[in-house]
Amino acid sequence: MVLGALGSRISDALRNMSNAMLVDDKVLNDMLKEIGNALIAADVSVPLVLNLRKAITQQVNMEEMAQGINKRKLIQTAVFQELINLVDPGHKPYVPVKGQTNVIMLVGLQGNGKTTTAGKLGYYYQRKGWKVGLVCADTFRAGAFDQLKQNATKARIPYYGSYTETSPVVVAADGVDKFREEGFEIIIVDTSGRHKQEEALFEEMAEVAEAVEPDTTIFVMDAAIGQAAQDQAEAFRERVDVGSVIITKMDGSAKGGGALSAVAATHSPIVFIGMGEHIDQLEPFDASSFVSRLLGRGDIMGLVSK
Amino acid sequence: LFSLFQTLTGNKTLAEEDLEPVMAALAQRLEERNVASEVAHALTESVASNLIGQTLPSMTSVKYAAKQALTEALTRILTPRRKIDVIREAHAAREAGKVYSIVMMGVNGVGKSTSLSKICYWLRQNGFSVLIAACDTFRSGAISQLQTHGKRLGVDVYEQGYGGDPAAVAKAAIGRAVREGIDVVLIDTAGRMVKNSPLMKALAKLVEVNLPDLILFVGEALVGNDGVDQLMGFRQALIDHGTTSRNIDGIVLSKFDSVDDKVGASVSMVHASGGIPIVLVGTGQNYTDIKGFSVKGVVKALMK
Ligand SMILES: Nc1nc2c(ncn2[C@@H]2O[C@H](COP(=O)(O)OP(=O)(O)OP(=O)(O)O)[C@@H](O)[C@H]2O)c(=O)[nH]1
Ligand SMILES: Nc1nc2c(ncn2[C@@H]2O[C@H](COP(=O)(O)OP(=O)(O)OP(=O)(O)O)[C@@H](O)[C@H]2O)c(=O)[nH]1
Ligand SMILES: [Mg+2]
Ligand SMILES: [Mg+2]
């Protein structure tokens, strides 16, 4: 598991606290500092880590008033709860509806894996029996249409794109209209990579969204991103209605914490993780089992609900 | 009261406990600006250990002294010991009647092919003839991406389609450049993860078979703690799977335009690798968006 090192540092910090003779403020602070350092080393954004530390302290101090509570257990539970909050904002992702058209738009930073993920996602739904079409609304990147086309062809998924039309808004609208008329159930719109520093690119994204009226927009983010993740993700959320997140390249050595910060920034759950370059290397994501794997324990839900 | 007076007006000998809170705050600032944790802490610890026992001149605060020392340390680390001048090296090769070859490598999607096309544009501006070798024979659309750039830049792309051996494609491209008197061959490679050892072996083979003149590692300015693992992983793989001493010569820092003041990835990569220099910086998606690395600019962004 990619997050193994983070998990063992957090577990160690919890264990050290549990072994302390007396859990006073210093023991609690040392533990929180160590957990904070572990999260920052895994690329979770620094402001987010400071908030998390504050939230745990508050939770512990509030309940301290009550008599007869096991303090160690209380702290552990608070830590688990805050970690789960980090990957699970409580929102449910969009669930495609059978027998009707579901338009899914993919957005994200340059090179983060949108086009590859479009193919993987299409393949995932097609194998489950949905009628899927891919639309290439990236008219900027050299070779973008050929890339999508080759992936679609390998997976035998119908695709739409243009070598001559230069407006992504026009291609996106035409492609979605065509597939909609033909009764496709899942239409995946791949868009160009962009970043918040270039307003024209963000404006273009908003226009594509307006033209295709997606049922859901997925923010695709690379697991290796560092401290810029939160700012970028927030900027995307401000311009389009991000509903969920896919983290890519989880097969690499990255810890994925930057991408986790994107969850907090977009208030959107992770729905899939990318585990390789091949079309079948996409895994559904479940937040609580992720955290329990992270900390190497199976009984996490039981612990949280006490 | 007397000791308080001393800290404020100087003649104070710095002890570890004076520095601890100041250095912790500076380490956190470096982390916020995207310096890898390990590197941020190593840097502040080494700065602190140099300061312990020093006597501050009067009116100097501990904080100011620490910031000053860290600024100097960052500048020292980022300043390359050996400057790589691509244009001059390519000139020298041409004068010696040799083809100059550059290979781009790095993990998936960091900007290898785009940086290659920017370098191509830059070399063309400087009067060099260029051949692009399409040695990413794996990723969908990789070859047509380069062909599109080649067409725009007026440069041929040598390719053998998908699925072939990248080392052999590079060799054939260099062979063609020799025959046709082309000055520079730019070798594009597929993105790969360090953990994927068959792919890392194939890359080492490409280096071994072709002995490129310049090996550039492309790393994103956006990358977090993984930047260090990526760079060190590629370097180690070339050592483990190769028999030549050729290894990474320099870094291309891509997507510098998307990080604002979070410029720390540059520090992480240079520090952890013991000084592999940043040769070029990618600042956008157009051919002209490639610049030299400004040590001063980066240090300023980190310390302000
Ligand atoms: N190892 C690995 N590579 C991936 C994964 N997802 C995508 N990639 C690779 O990452 C690189 C970039 O992927 P793309 O799909 O082109 O990214 P993009 O977001 O469409 O890029 P732009 O359109 O330029 O913004 C390619 O080499 C992909 O093969 C993954 O889960 N694991
Ligand atoms: N903003 C910005 N985008 C960049 C920069 N360099 C590259 N990109 C974008 O990043 C995306 C990926 O670039 P590529 O050159 O295809 O990356 P690669 O490393 O060759 O990708 P693979 O071959 O799939 O591993 C493209 O959308 C580029 O336009 C840069 O300096 N700034
Ligand atoms: Mg794409
Ligand atoms: Mg490439």
Residue A299 is predicted with a pLDDT of 44
Contacts of A225 in chain B (CB under 8 A): 222-224
Looking at residue A67, its pLDDT comes to: 54
Distance A198 CA to ligand 4 centre (A): 22
Q: What is the pLDDT of residues B183-239, one digit of tens each?
A: 999 999 999 999 999 999 999 999 999 999 999 999 999 999 999 999 999 999 999
Q: In whole angstroms, what is the distance from residue A270 CA to residue A287 CA?
A: 8
Residue A275 CA, closest ligand 1 atom number: 31
Residue of B nearest to A116 (CA): B140
pLDDT digits (tens, 9 = 90+) for B234-253: 999 999 998 888 999 999 99
Q: Distance between CA atoms of B122 and A231, rounded to whole angstroms? A: 32
Residue A181 neighbours by CB distance under 10 Å: 9
**pLDDT score of A43:** 94
On whether the CB atoms of residues B128 and B94 are closer than 8 A, the answer is yes
Mean per-residue pLDDT for A72-84? Answer: 83
Residues in chain B within 8 Å Cβ distance of A37 = 37
pLDDT of residue B15 exceeding 60, the answer is yes
Distance A161 CA to ligand 3 centre (A): 13
Residue pLDDT, tens place only, A204-216: 999 999 999 999 9
Percentage of residues of chain A with pLDDT beyond 70: 90
**The pLDDT of residue B24 is above 50:** yes
Bridge partners of residue B301, in order along the sequence: none
Residue B213 has phi, psi (to 5 degrees) of -75, -30
A141, A130, A129: which is closest to A103 by C-alpha?
A: A130
Nearest CA to B215 out of B183, B179, B239 is that of: B239
Other beta carbons within 10 Å of B138: 17
Contact B149, B292 (CB under 8 A): no
Cross-chain CB nearest to A249 (options B33, B108, B142): B108
Residue A230, pLDDT above cutoff 60? yes
Q: Is the pLDDT of residue A1 over 80?
A: no
> What is the DSSP secondary-structure string of B150-180?
HHHHT-EEE---SSS-HHHHHHHHHHHHHHH
Atom of ligand 1 nearest to the CA of A120: 6
Residue in A closest to B39 by C-alpha: A41
Each residue's pLDDT tens digit, B120-138: 999 999 999 999 999 999 9
Interface with chain B: mutation pick from A227, A236, A261, A275, highest number of B CBs within 10 Å: A227
Give the whole-number percent of chain B exceeding pLDDT 70. 96
Residue A88 CA neighbour count, 13 Å, CB half: 15
The pLDDT score that the predictor gives to residue A64 is 63
% chain A with pLDDT above 90: 66
- Mean pLDDT throughout B10-29? 89
Question: What is the average pLDDT score of chain A?
Answer: 89
pLDDT score recorded for residue A66 = 58
Q: Does the reported pTM lie above 0.90?
A: yes
What residue in A sits closest to B190 (Cα-Cα)? A277
Mean pLDDT of B262-291: 98
Residue A305 has pLDDT above 60, yes or no: no
Q: Where are the alpha helices (DSSP H) in A197-306?
A: 199-212, 229-239, 257-266, 287-294, 300-304
Q: How confident is the model at residue A87 (pLDDT cuts 50, 70, 90)?
A: confident
Taking only the tens place, the pLDDT of each residue in B29-74 is 999 999 999 999 999 999 999 999 988 887 778 999 999 999 999 9
CA angle at residue A36 from A32 to A40, to 5 degrees? 175
What is the pLDDT, as a whole number, of residue A175? 98
- Asked if A94 contacts A215 with a C-beta cutoff of 8 angstroms, the reply is yes
Least reliable range by pLDDT among A178-187, A282-291, B167-176: A282-291
Work out the pLDDT band at B5, boundaries 50, 70, 90: very low
